[in-house]
Amino acid sequence: MNVQDLLFVGFNSRLAALDQQTGDIVWQWKAPDGTGYVSPLLDGGKLFVSVNGYTYCLDAATGQQLWQNKMKGFGYGTTALVSVNGSTPHSLLGQAAAEAAQAAAAAGAGAGS
C-alpha cells in the first residue's frame, strides 16, 4: 500500500497505520521502551516516532522498526519533532493555507485584468 493512502494514529505507546478508504488496520507497532503519548512525524517513506523520551524510526509503509535511540540524558515527556521534509498536522494546515492564499491572489489578479 502507498504511504499516501495511510492515516497514522498513535496513543498508549502504540502506532497504527489505517487504510484511509476503509479504516482497516494495515500495520501496527508498539514501542519496546517508553509509555504514554506518541509523537509521530512523517518524512517521505520514514515515520519518526517519539514515546516518552525514546525515539524510533519506522518504515512508513510496513511499520518495520529501522532504529531506536534512547535519548539518554534528555528526560521524558511530550516530544516535538521537526524535519525539513516532515509532515505534521500543523505543517499540512499551514501549507494548505498558503496554497489557498496563493490561489485567491491569483484569482484576484485574474479578475482585475
Show pLDDT as tens, one digit a residue, over the chain (113 residues).
889 999 999 999 999 999 999 999 999 999 999 888 899 999 989 999 999 889 999 999 999 999 999 988 888 877 878 877 766 555 555 566 667 778 777 777 766 55
Indicate the SS3 state at residue 3.
Answer: helix
pLDDT at 71: 87
pTM above 0.85? Answer: no
- The architecture of the domain spanning 3-85 is Beta Barrel (2.40)
State the DSSP H helix or E strand holding residue 93, giving kind and residue range, or none if neither: helix 89-111
Dihedral class, residue 67 (left if φ above 0, else alpha if ψ from -120 to 50, else beta): beta
pLDDT at 8: 95
Domain regions of the chain by residue span? 3-85
